[in-house]
Every structure is written in structure tokens, then in C-alpha cells.
Amino acid sequence: MNLTISGHHLEVTPAIRDYVQNKLERIKRHFDQVIDIAVILSVDNLTEKEKRQKAEINLRLSGKTVFVESCSQDLYAAIDTLIDKLDRQVMKYKDKVQDHKHLAAKHFPDDGVQAAA
């Protein structure tokens, strides 16, 4: 798994890098078939003071790419909401891939046998 953390108008400090890596451990714990992760942290020069810190992530899985973004006033809060959104999407994808709701033919009720009895 390749992990790329980059900053746009922002220097990625070792503290931020460690924080992102620790948060991504939760994703790896739920789903270990991750090919590539690209995290982009940025600061937008908006006139309003709210939601200037933005965090984006591209998560490549086998056959699918998951993109999530989050904006907040604080960078750490943006990373937290980003990981929460990503966790929900990864769990949804995992459930879809591992869907075991298909019933075998032997579990279907046999109407012909019950009607004859």
C-alpha cells in the first residue's frame, strides 16, 4: 500500500503526518485490500474565516476509487470528519463486495411438495 500525504499552500509537518497515519489505521483495520492512498491537505484563501482548512483523500481499491473531502475551521477537525466519511464509504463497499444474502436453492421452500401433502 502506497501512502502519499501532500500539502497545498501548507507545509506538512511530522505531527500532521503522524496524525493522518494513525487515523488511517482504522481504515486498514476494517479493510486491508487498499492499493493506494493519496491525502491532500490544503488551506483555501476564502474571505470568510469558516471552513478554510480542507482535507481530501483518494483511496484506490481493487476495481474502485473512493474520493472523500472535508472542510473545517481546524485542520485536525477536517481530518477527523474526513476519516469518518471514508470509514462509512469503505464499510459500505466492503458490505457490497462481501454480500452473502444470496440463498442457495436448497433453502428455498418447495411449494410443490407441500401442496401434494
For the entire predicted model, the pTM comes to: 0.77
Please report how the helices 75-97 and 14-30 are oriented relative to each other, as an axis angle in degrees rounded to 10.
20
Q: What would the mean pLDDT of 84-102 be, rounded to a whole number?
A: 84
Instruction: Give Cα separations from 33 to 26, 29, 30, 80 (angstroms).
Output: 13, 10, 10, 22
CATH code reported for the domain at 2-99: 3.30.160.100
Q: Give residue 61's pLDDT.
A: 86
Q: Are strands 64-72 and 2-8 parallel, antiparallel or unpaired?
A: unpaired
Lowest mean pLDDT among 44-48, 76-80, 84-88, 96-100: 44-48
Q: Give residue 27's pLDDT.
A: 86
Extents of the domains making up the chain: 2-99
Higher pLDDT, 39 or 50: 39
> Which residues are registered as beta bridge partners of 55?
41, 70
Distance, in Å, from the CA atom of 54 to the CA atom of 72, rounded to the nearest integer, reads 6
Q: Is 72 in a helix, a strand, or coil?
A: strand
Distance, in Å, from the CA atom of 6 to the CA atom of 10, rounded to the nearest integer, reads 9
